[in-house]
Amino acid sequence: MINFTLKQLRYFEALARHGHFGNAADICAISQPALSAQIAALEAALGQQLFERGARQIRLTAFGEKFGLRASIILREAEALADMARGAGNTALDRLRIGVIPTIAPYLLPSIIGHITAANPEIDLMVRETMTQKLIEELSEGKLDCAIVALPVSEPSLTEVALFEEAMVLVRPPQDADRPVPDMDTLSQMKLLLLEEGHCFRDQALSFCSMRNALPREGLDGSSLSTLVQMVGAGIGVTLIPEMAIPVETRSATVSIAALGAPHPKRTVGMIWRKTSALTPQLEEIADLVREAAAAHPAFSKP
């Protein structure tokens, strides 16, 4: 009888995904020699080589590719069993793995964590910040329980729950504070600073400005909203940021903020999770806590 463990399958999956022993070991929080030993033990148990080990690259063998498809199913089912146990009896969550996109995490996450831990003092909370597509992948793979993103994501396998809407605001140099706020047509002709490819907020900004098919413009992309706001403060151009970012981003940059006119650009923030998740009742409660956290945020809790 061939014997291997779920832990070995997780190590296999990490190495298959990253193609590098060091990176996979970091993800799995073990040493590289320990990971190598576990992979070797798995191959010995199977009597088959799973990886081709080159000087600079690790790739799956033909058998490894077939094995990976089945291993993924086993790991997802194991996560589903764990979720079922955690969700049994609609008890309070003891662990929550939550993902958040970068244009929400720095501004709302402290309040979210505070509300969740106040309602669930014993919860083991793990947070993952990355872009939407990666969060969707990790949700589908059972690596996350839920994620806070901009809606819609339009994934048939995921439940989407809208939490709140927020406006996009215009950030421009301080000397422009008394000038008329540009309309959509004017804004589309200005030097608009954008987040780099992969951020959903970039796509939303381009869509509002009717620039979805715009060609990349050298030097006008940033990796974070903080970078974009600092660039505006340096006089390089203008940008759009979500309303929740105003208190943080205007502390360290001399810029002016303006509300845009009709059609009033905005985004819907929501929470997503697997439709098959046994934790759905608890995740609905978490969604309510996130709504409360947003309502308490300085950008939204106006007198």
pTM, full prediction? 0.73
> Is residue 90 left, alpha or beta, with left meaning phi > 0 and alpha meaning psi from -120 to 50?
left
The bridge status of strand 266-274 relative to strand 146-151 is antiparallel
Task: Give residue-wise pLDDT tens across range 155-203.
Answer: 999 999 999 999 999 999 999 988 999 887 788 788 888 888 778 888 8
Q: Which residues of 240-279 are buried (b: 16+ CB within 10 A; e: fewer)?
A: bbbbbbbebbbeebebbebebeeeebebebbbbbbeebbb
Q: Which of 3.40.50.970, 3.10.580.10, 1.10.10.10, 2.40.30.10 is the CATH number of 6-86?
A: 1.10.10.10
Helix 280-295 with 62-87: angle, nearest 10 deg: 80
| pLDDT score at 213 | 46
E-assigned strand segments in the chain? 51-53, 58-60, 95-100, 124-129, 146-151, 158-172, 192-195, 221-222, 238-242, 256-259, 266-274
Sign of dihedral through CA atoms 120, 121, 123, 124? positive
| pLDDT score at 292 | 95
| pLDDT score at 158 | 94
Sequence-ordered alpha helix ranges (H) in 3-131: 6-18, 21-28, 32-46, 62-87, 105-119
| pLDDT score at 215 | 45
User: Residue ranges per domain, the chain?
Assistant: 6-86, 95-303
| pLDDT score at 164 | 94
| pLDDT score at 303 | 41
Tens-level pLDDT at each residue, the chain (303 residues): 788 898 899 899 889 988 889 888 887 878 999 999 999 999 999 999 999 987 778 889 999 999 998 988 888 788 777 767 766 655 667 889 999 999 999 999 999 999 999 999 989 999 999 999 999 988 988 889 999 999 999 899 999 999 999 999 999 999 998 899 988 778 878 888 888 877 888 888 877 776 544 444 544 678 899 999 999 999 889 999 999 999 999 888 899 999 988 878 899 999 999 998 888 999 999 999 999 999 988 777 554
Class of CATH domain 95-303: alpha beta
| pLDDT score at 88 | 63
Burial of residue 148 (number of CB atoms within 10 Å: 0-12, 13-18, 19+): buried
